[in-house]
C-alpha cells in the first residue's frame, strides 16, 4: 500500500483524474450489475439453493432456467412469423386477407381431410380426452400443423408467403438454439480444457487455490469442506487404481476385456429389446386409433390408454435402462470417473434413441405402401390424410405424459418416502433412507423433454409455449422436492464439468433432432390435404421454388454460394 | 472501508479509530472471515502489532482488503497466500505446513480428515508437482511458479465487495 501511495504522488494531475474517474465508473458499473441481478429470473432462488446444496445442484437449476428462456424465445419466433399473420388476417386487421391457391395436378382423393372437430352434442369427457390426446377439438386449432392450410396472406398490398415463413422459422429456431448452446458452452469448454490438459498440476491447484474466499455462510463452508475432502480422496483413489491397472498381468487383462465385450453385448441386446418393443407398441397404438375407412371418418374412439401406450413404454425404458446400466458397469472394472461417464453416455443414448425409434415407426406406418395404399399421393393418404398433424399429436402426447410423470413421481414416491423415513423407525425403511438428488438423471429427463420440443415444433407450432410453461412449473416442483425431501449429496459434483456436460448432451439432442426434421422436410411428401405445403411435393420445395422466382442475378449468386467451391471453406470458417 | 472498520470498534473508541487497534476476536466477526478456515492465519499475517496479539489497526485492515480485492496483482496475492499458508512462519512450506493446510481445507472434526496414508500420498504428489529443487520444502519462488499456472487461483483469492 505504501508503494501505491508513493506512486500516486508522482503522477500528474491528468492521470490522477483519469484514475479517479475510472474508479468511480467501475463502482457505478458494479452497482448496476448488482441491481440487474434482481431482474434475472429466479436469481435469488438459485443463490439460496447454491448456498444450501452446492454448485452441482445449482447448475441443474440454472440449466433449467436457460431452457425456459430458450423455449420462450423459440415460441416468440414461431408465433410472430407463423401464427400471428394468420390471426391478423382472420380478424381483418390492416386489411388483410387469406389467399388459397387451389392445388393443381393432384388427385382429389388426396385432399379429403375432415377432422372430426366435435360436431353436435358430445359428452363432456370427450373434451378431456381430446385435451390429452390432441385430437377432436384440438386438432383444428393453431396447435397443430393442419390448421395452417393457407398459401399466402395479403396484408394491405404486401404478400406474405406463409409456407416460406414456416420453413424459415423452423430453420431459424434450430440455428438459434445451436448457436446459443455453443456460446454458453464456450466458457465451460475453456475450463474443461485446462482441467484435462494439466493433470500433473491438479493437486497443487486443488490445495493452494481450493478455498473460495467469497463464502460467508457457515453451511456453504461446510459443503465446500466436504467437497474438497471428497475431491482429494477420489483423486488419490484414482491414482492408486491407475497404478493397479498398469500392473495387471496378461491373463487378467484378457479376462477383463472378454468380460467387457460380453457386457457390451448384453447392453446392445437390451437396447434392441427396447427399440423393438417401442416399434411394436407404436404400430399397435396407431392401428387401434384409426378406425373404419368405410365410414369415412377417423374417429379416435380408442381408449386413452392405447393412445398413450408408446409414451408409457418409452418412459418405462428410460427408467429401467439406467438402472440396469449402473448395475452392469460394476463388473467392468473401470476407474470411477470413467464409470460415471460411460453410464451417462449409455443413458443418454437410450433416451434419445427411443424418440428416434418412435418416429421411425411412425414413418413406417405413414409410408406403408404395400398394396398400393399410397399410389396417388406418395404416402398412406387414407389413414393419414394429414400426417404432420399426427406426428405433432404424438409429440404432444409425449410431452404431456412426460410432464405428468415428472409431477407424479414426487407426489407418489418422494413425499411418502420422506414421511415414512421421518416417522417410522423400522429398520428396513431406515435403510432406504432419504433420497439423494440425482443430478444426471434429472438433467437427462429435461434434455429428453427438450428434444421432443425441438422435433415437435415443426409439426405443432405452439409446442414451445407448452414447454416453457412445463419447465416453469418443473422448476418450482423440483425446488420444493429438493428442500423438503432430499439430503445434501454425499458426493459433491464439480460444477464446471457438469455445466459443460449438460450443454454437450443438449447439443447431442439438438443434432439428433435435425435428423427426423430433415427427413420429414426433404424426404417424405407433404400432405396434400392440409398444411402450408400443399402445393409442393415435399416441404423443402418451397425454397427452390422461391429462388426460381428471384431475379436471375440473385439466382446466380445463390447457386454460386451453394456450389461446393464456396460452401466448404465457408463452413470450415 | 473506514465505516466497516469503525463498526468493529466498541463505541467509546470510535472517535479515534485511526489510531486504535481492534482485537482479534472482533476481526473474526467479519462475514468474509467468519467461515474462512484460514481466519487465524490471515489475522496473524496482516497484523503489525508489537505485542503479537494479532490485533489490527486501520492500516492493517486496509492492507488486508487491498490484497483481497480484484485489483491486486497476482504477485501480491501469491506472496500473501504463501505467508498465510506458512503455519510455522519459517519462510518455507514443509511437510508439516502442508499437512496443516490440507487439514484446514477438509474441515474441522475427526471424520473429515484424510487418513495418514492418504495424507502421505497427497503431500508426496504436491511436492512432486511443485518442488523444483527437490529439497522437500516449497519456497516462495516455487510457490509463485506453481500458482501462476493454476487457473483457479485468481478467482478464489478475491473478496467481493
CATH number of the domain where residue B87 is located:
1.10.238.10
pLDDT exceeds 60 at position A495:
no
Distance of CA B14 to the CA centre of its chain: 27
ipTM surpassing 0.85: no
Of A198, A208, A214, the CB nearest to B81: A208
Of A208, A218, A232, the CB nearest to B146: A208
Mean pLDDT across chain B: 74
Q: Is residue B44 located within the same domain as residue B81?
A: no
DSSP A474: H
pLDDT at A8: 57
pLDDT tens column, B35-86: 777 777 777 777 766 666 667 777 777 777 777 777 778 788 888 888 888 8
pLDDT tens column, A434-455: 566 677 788 888 889 999 999 9
Q: Is residue B36 located within the same domain as residue B84?
A: no
Higher pLDDT, B79 or A554: B79
Whole-number Å distance between alpha carbons of A230 and B114: 10
Q: Is residue B87 located within the same domain as residue B148?
A: yes
User: Which domain covers residue B59, as residue numbers?
Assistant: 1-68
pLDDT exceeds 90 at position A468:
yes
Q: Name all contacts of A434-437 with Cβ < 8 Å and 24+ positions apart.
A: A434/A485, A434/A486, A434/A487, A435/A485, A435/A486, A435/A487, A436/A486, A436/A487, A436/A489, A436/A490, A437/A53, A437/A57, A437/A60, A437/A482, A437/A486, A437/A489
Neighbours of B31 (CB within 10 A): 11
Q: Is residue B92 located within the same domain as residue B62?
A: no
Q: Is residue B153 located within the same domain as residue B117?
A: yes
Q: Which H, E and C letters describe A307-321, residue by residue?
A: HCHHHHHHHHHHHHH
Whole-number Å distance between alpha carbons of A271 and A324: 11
Higher pLDDT, A77 or A230: A77
Least confident piece of the model among A446-455, A501-510, B108-117 = B108-117
pLDDT exceeds 90 at position A209:
no
pLDDT exceeds 60 at position A552:
yes
Give contacts of A236 with chain B, Cβ < 8 Å: 114, 118, 121-122
Q: Is residue B109 located within the same domain as residue B129?
A: yes
What's the first-to-final CA gap in chain B, in angstroms? 10
Q: Are A377 and A528 in contact (CB under 8 A)?
A: yes
Q: Is residue B105 located within the same domain as residue B148?
A: yes
Neighbours of A370 (CB within 10 A): 7
What value does the CA radius of gyration of chain A take, rounded to a whole number of Å? 29
Give contacts of A200 with chain B, Cβ < 8 Å: 129
Boundary of a domain, candidates B34, B50, B68 = B68
Q: Are A463 and A81 in contact (CB under 8 A)?
A: no
In chain A, pLDDT over 70 holds for what percent of residues?
75
In chain B, pLDDT over 90 holds for what percent of residues?
0
Mean pLDDT across chain A: 77
- Give the 3-state secondary structure of residue A154: strand
State the average pLDDT over residues A346-374.
81
Q: Do A213 and B106 touch (CB under 8 A)?
A: no
Boundary of a domain, candidates B68, B100, B120 = B68
Closest by CA position to A170, among listed A544, A517, A469: A517
Q: Are A452 and A355 in contact (CB under 8 A)?
A: yes
What value does the CA radius of gyration of chain B take, rounded to a whole number of Å? 17
Least confident piece of the model among A36-45, A116-125, A392-401 = A116-125
Describe the strand order of the beta sheet including A158-160 as a list of residue ranges: A97-99, A152-155, A158-160
pLDDT tens column, A140-157: 777 777 777 777 777 777
pLDDT at A291: 46
> Could you tell me the pTM of the whole model?
0.74
Distance of CA A144 to the CA centre of its chain: 20
Q: Is residue B150 located within the same domain as residue B102?
A: yes
Q: Is residue B103 located within the same domain as residue B125?
A: yes
Q: Is residue B83 located within the same domain as residue B152?
A: yes
pLDDT at A464: 92
Q: Are A184 and A67 in contact (CB under 8 A)?
A: no
Q: Is residue B22 located within the same domain as residue B90?
A: no
Q: Where does A40-151 have alpha helices with state H?
A: 43-53, 55-78, 84-90, 124-133
Minimum distance, in Å, between the CA of residue B13 and any CA atom of chain A = 25
Instruction: Show the beta-strand stretches assigned E in B16-134.
Output: 21-22, 56-57
In chain A, pLDDT over 90 holds for what percent of residues?
6
Boundary of a domain, candidates B24, B53, B68 = B68
- Give the 3-state secondary structure of residue A123: coil
Q: Are B76 and B134 in contact (CB under 8 A)?
A: no
Q: Do B36 and A211 touch (CB under 8 A)?
A: yes
pLDDT tens column, A295-349: 333 444 456 777 888 888 888 888 888 888 888 888 887 777 777 778 888 888 8
Q: Is residue B60 located within the same domain as residue B82?
A: no
Q: Is B36's Cβ below 8 Å from some Cβ in A?
A: yes
Domain count, chain B: 2
Amino acid at each position: 500500500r505504501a508503494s501505491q501511495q508513493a506512486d500516486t504522488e508522482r503522477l500528474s494531475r491528468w492521470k490522477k483524474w483519469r484514475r479517479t474517474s475510472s474508479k468511480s465508473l467501475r463502482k457505478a458499473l458494479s452497482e448496476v450489475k448488482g441491481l440487474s441481478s434482481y431482474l434475472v429470473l429466479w436469481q435469488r432462488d438459485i443463490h439460496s439453493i447454491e448456498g444450501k446444496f452446492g454448485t452441482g445442484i445449482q447448475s441443474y437449476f440454472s440449466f433449467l432456467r436457460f431452457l425456459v428462456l430458450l423455449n420462450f424465445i423459440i415460441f416468440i419466433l414461431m408465433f410472430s412469423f407463423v401464427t400471428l399473420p394468420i390471426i391478423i388476417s382472420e380478424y381483418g386487421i390492416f386489411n388483410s386477407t387469406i389467399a388459397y391457391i387451389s392445388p393443381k395436378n393432384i388427385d382429389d382423393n388426396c385432399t379429403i381431410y375432415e377432422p372430426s372437430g366435435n360436431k353436435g352434442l358430445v359428452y363432456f369427457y370427450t373434451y378431456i380426452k381430446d385435451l390429452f390426446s390432441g385430437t377432436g377439438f384440438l386438432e383444428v386449432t393453431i396447435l397443430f400443423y393442419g390448421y395452417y392450410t393457407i398459401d399466402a396472406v395479403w396484408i394491405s398490398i404486401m404478400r406474405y408467403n406463409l409456407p416460406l415463413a414456416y420453413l424459415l422459422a423452423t430453420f431459424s429456431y434450430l440455428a438459434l438454439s445451436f448457436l446459443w448452446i455453443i456460446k454458453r458452452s464456450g466458457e465451460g469448454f475453456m475450463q474443461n480444457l485446462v482441467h484435462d490438459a494439466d493433470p500433473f498440476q491438479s493437486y497443487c491447484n486443488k490445495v493452494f487455490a481450493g478455498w473460495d474466499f467469497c463464502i460467508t455462510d457457515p453451511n456453504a463452508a461446510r459443503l465446500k469442506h466436504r467437497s474438497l475432502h471428497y475431491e482429494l480422496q477420489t483423486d488419490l483413489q484414482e491414482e492408486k487404481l491407475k497404478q493397479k491397472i498398469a500392473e495387471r498381468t496378461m491373463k487378467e487383462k484378457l479376462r477383463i476385456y472378454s468380460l467387457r465385450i460380453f457386457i457390451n453385448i448384453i447392453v446392445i441386446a437390451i437396447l434392441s429389446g427396447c427399440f423393438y418393443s417401442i416399434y411394436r407398441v407404436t404400430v399397435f397404438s396407431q392401428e387401434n386409433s384409426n378406425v373404419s375407412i368405410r365410414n369415412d371418418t377417423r374417429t379416435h374412439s380408442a381408449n386413452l390408454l392405447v393412445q398413450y401406450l408408446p409414451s408409457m413404454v418409452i418412459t418405462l425404458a428410460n427408467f429401467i435402462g439406467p438402472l440396469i446400466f449402473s448395475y452392469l458397469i460394476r463388473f467392468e472394472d473401470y476407474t470411477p470417473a470413467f464409470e460415471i461417464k460411460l453410464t451417462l453416455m449409455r443413458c443418454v443414448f437410450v433416451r434419445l434413441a427411443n424418440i428416434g425409434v418412435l418416429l421411425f415407426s411412425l414413418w413406417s406406418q405413414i409410408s406403408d405402401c404395400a398394396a398400393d395404399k399410397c399410389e396417388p399421393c406418395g404416402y398412406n393418404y387414407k389413414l393419414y390424410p394429414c400426417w404432420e398433424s399426427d406426428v405433432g399429436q404424438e409429440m404432444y402426447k409425449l410431452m404431456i405424459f412426460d410432464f405428468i410423470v415428472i409431477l407424479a413421481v414426487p407426489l407418489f414416491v418422494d413425499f411418502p418416502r420422506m414421511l415414512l423415513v421421518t416417522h417410522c423407525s423400522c429398520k428396513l425403511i431406515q435403510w432406504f433412507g432419504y433420497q439423494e438428488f440425482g443430478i444426471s438423471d434429472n438433467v437427462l429427463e429435461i434434455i429428453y423433454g427438450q428434444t421432443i420440443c425441438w422435433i415437435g415444433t415443426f409439426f405443432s407450432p405452439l409446442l414451445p409455449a407448452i414447454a416453457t410453461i412445463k419447465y416453469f412449473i418443473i422448476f418450482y416442483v423440483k425446488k420444493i422436492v429438493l428442500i423438503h425431501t432430499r439430503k445434501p449429496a454425499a458426493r459433491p459434483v464439480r460444477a464446471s464439468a457438469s455445466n459443460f456436460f449438460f450443454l454437450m448432451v443438449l447439443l447431442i439432442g439438438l443434432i439428433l433432432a435435425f435428423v427426423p426434421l430433415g427427413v420429414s422436410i426433404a424426404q417424405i411428401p407433404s400432405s396434400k390435404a392440409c398444411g402450408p405445403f400443399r402445393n409442393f411435393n415435399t416441404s423443402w420445395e418451397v425454397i427452390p421454388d422461391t429462388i426460381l422466382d428471384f431475379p436471375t442475378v440473385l439466382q446466380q449468386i445463390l447457386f454460386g454460394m451453394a456450389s461446393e467451391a464456396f460452401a466448404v471453406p465457408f463452413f470450415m470458417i | 472501508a473506514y465505516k466497516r472498520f469503525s463498526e468493529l470498534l466498541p463505541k467509546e473508541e470510535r472517535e479515534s479509530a485511526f489510531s486504535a487497534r481492534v482485537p482479534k476476536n472482533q476481526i473474526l466477526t467479519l462475514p468474509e472471515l467468519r467461515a474462512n478456515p484460514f481466519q487465524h492465519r490471515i489475522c496473524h499475517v496482516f497484523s503489525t502489532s508489537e505485542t503479537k496479539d494479532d490485533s489490527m489497526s486501520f492500516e492493517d485492515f486496509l492492507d488486508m482488503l487491498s490484497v483481497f480485492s480484484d485489483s491486486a496483482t497476482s504477485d501480491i496475492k501469491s506472496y500473501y497466500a504463501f505467508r498465510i499458508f506458512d503455519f510455522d512462519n519459517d519462510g518455507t512450506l514443509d511437510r508439516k505446513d502442508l499437512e496443516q493446510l490440507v487439514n484446514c481445507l477438509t474441515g474441522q472434526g475427526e471424520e473429515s480428515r484424510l487418513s495418514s496414508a492418504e495424507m502421505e500420498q497427497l503431500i508426496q504428489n504436491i511436492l512432486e508437482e511443485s518442488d523444483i529443487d527437490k529439497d522437500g520444502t516449497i519456497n516462495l519462488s516455487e510457490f509463485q511458479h506453481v500458482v501462476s499456472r493454476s487457473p483457479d487461483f485468481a478467482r478464489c483469492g478475491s473478496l467481493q465487495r
